[in-house]
Structure 1
Amino acid sequence: MSQTVVATTDKLPSRVSWGAILSGGLVAVTVGAMFNILGVAIGAGTIEPTIPGETPDASTFGIAGAAWLMVSNLLGLAAGGYVAARLSGTADDTDGVLHGLSVWAIAFLISAVMLGNVAAGTARGVGALVQGAASTATSAAAEAMPQAGNLTFDPEALAERLQSSLQGGGDPATMTEDQRRAEMTRLVAERARSGAFTPEARDRLTALAAVEFGIPQDQAAQRIAELEAEATQMTQRAETEARRAAEAAAQAASIGAYWIFATLLLGAAAAVIGAKVGTRKTLLLASRRYG
């Protein structure tokens, strides 16, 4: 019996077919888009605006749309994996699976680029609308300026009135209505920033309110206390709602990330299955010579 062993150090030839991978990726994206368009057509056909109660609610639409989107992407990736494995000409299951995974990655990148272009186009459209609205407003203001020129306008009188309205700290009874209201607004704004009235600010606001509304100081103090308590309750409710909204947003982001991960994992599995089906099957016969 004789046996010949041949040793070689030559580099093994590459068994990857980028043409097959790109073709499979395009097929995956196209088939997925085709089924998604079909889903939009079916969903739009279920809307019955003229018949109350016949149109499915928003939650049903959301669940059905998400399920259809997942199924469409899985079918597209399975078809893309099959095409890539078949066109690669490989008869090795591992090579076919790797071609299918490459199609999965390429299809994901193509979809991301397409979604990015759609988002950029939407942003440009919104920017154009805002710019057009601003241009229209500017034109309208320019057209209105000649008409406004017919009105009497005294800058010195306006500045004097603003200056007098900002003055405060005097006797509320001798102050003008503009002065009292300006100082009351300032005190309330300081309270909103600090979170509470100082004793001096509360007494001053009470005196101003009593003169402004013509009520006794004890009644004015009672009104201010009631308004302050209501403002405190509103602030607490706003903080509670903000915490709840932040918690809900974080939970929604977490659930969305898990769903995206599951979708990608299922997509990889679909591409692998399609590639295994598309891998060529050959019968290898081995012969040995004995002597």
Structure 2
Amino acid sequence: MTIGLMLNALGAGVGATTVDATARDTPSASSFGIGAAIWVLISNLIGLAVGAYVAARLSGTSDNTDGTLHGLAVWGTTFLISAVLLGNLVAGIASTAATSASSVLGGVVRGAGSAASAASNVAGPGGLQSATQGMVDRVQRALSGGGSPASMTSDQRNAEMATLATRWVTDGRMTASDRERLNALVAAEYNIPVQEAQQRVQQAEQQAAEAVRRAEETARQAADTAASGAATAGFAIFGIMLLGALAAVFGARRGTRDVLLVRGTGNVR
């Protein structure tokens, strides 16, 4: 792991020397990414091979199987430690993000509380109660629909149209009575014939259906992209680990001590 880190640091230094912001002769981000990936892979393979060589050599064994197992132990330990370090890094980033978000939310809540307190102090108990009652009365007037659209106020018509539109989006379809009511509301609100209002509602319905179709298609494409990315990452990790195992086996085989046979007069060493 130390050799791999040292070679990765060397690669970072070499990569930094290729950045030339003054002459604007810096390689592209894709070139940087490909070069960095290749360098990291080679550095880790070299580190695993050397580590497996040292483990097999220091074990003192002359059996190839034992030496190979020592190399594979180095390989497994290295990847486990790397996985733990990576997990701690991700957890630290997530914790920092959560702490920052909590601080921001706390500031917003404190600001909202301060603003509400200031407004209460300025308005006074009587003024605040009067303003609140006025808002409630306005909402009640806006929501009191169901009558003739021509006799309703603009707020009432818009509130009922919003209610119908919400029901339409939630249920995914519009009943005949809701469509007829919406046509009448649109005609009265915009002072247009019922036929033109009908066309507007149909056009809005088609646009909404098209938007739903596009959203569904976008979601499917995002899911396919995520699945492809996960599959590529899985295959890449498997391939990297397999190459690491081969490098460890190679280093361990080279580090396994050779058996020296000396044949003399009846003696074998």
1:35 aligns with 2:12: no
**By how many angstroms is 1:284 displaced?**
2.6
Quote the residue 1:122 is aligned against.
93
Quote the residue 1:15 is aligned against.
none
**By how many angstroms is 1:286 displaced?**
5.5
Structure 2: runs of 5+ lacking an equivalent: none
**Superposition pairs for residues 89-128 of structure 1, below 5 Å?**
89-128=60-99
Quote the residue 2:17 is aligned against.
45
Per mean C-alpha deviation after superposition, the further-off stretch among 205-214 and 60-69 is 60-69
**Superposition pairs for residues 1-291 of structure 1, below 5 Å?**
29-52=1-24, 54-149=25-120, 150-151=122-123, 152-153=127-128, 154=130, 155-285=132-262, 288=266
Percent of aligned positions that are identical: 46
What TM-score, normalized to structure 1?
Answer: 0.82
Aligned AA (1:184): M
Seen in structure 2, the aligned counterparts of structure 1 residues 196 and 140 have a Cα distance that, compared at 3 Å, is same
- Equivalents in 1 of 2:18, 2:178: separation in Å? 63
Aligned AA (1:248): T
Seen in structure 2, the aligned counterparts of structure 1 residues 104 and 198 have a Cα distance that, compared at 3 Å, is same
- Equivalents in 1 of 2:80, 2:203: separation in Å? 60
Aligned AA (2:116): M
Seen in structure 2, the aligned counterparts of structure 1 residues 188 and 45 have a Cα distance that, compared at 3 Å, is farther
Aligned length: 260
- Equivalents in 2 of 1:147, 1:119: separation in Å? 42
Structure 1: runs of 5+ lacking an equivalent: 1-28
* Structure with the higher helix share, 1 or 2: 2
Seen in structure 2, the aligned counterparts of structure 1 residues 144 and 51 have a Cα distance that, compared at 3 Å, is farther
Q: Give the SS at the match of 1:91.
A: coil
Quote the residue 1:11 is aligned against.
none
- Equivalents in 1 of 2:16, 2:143: separation in Å? 60
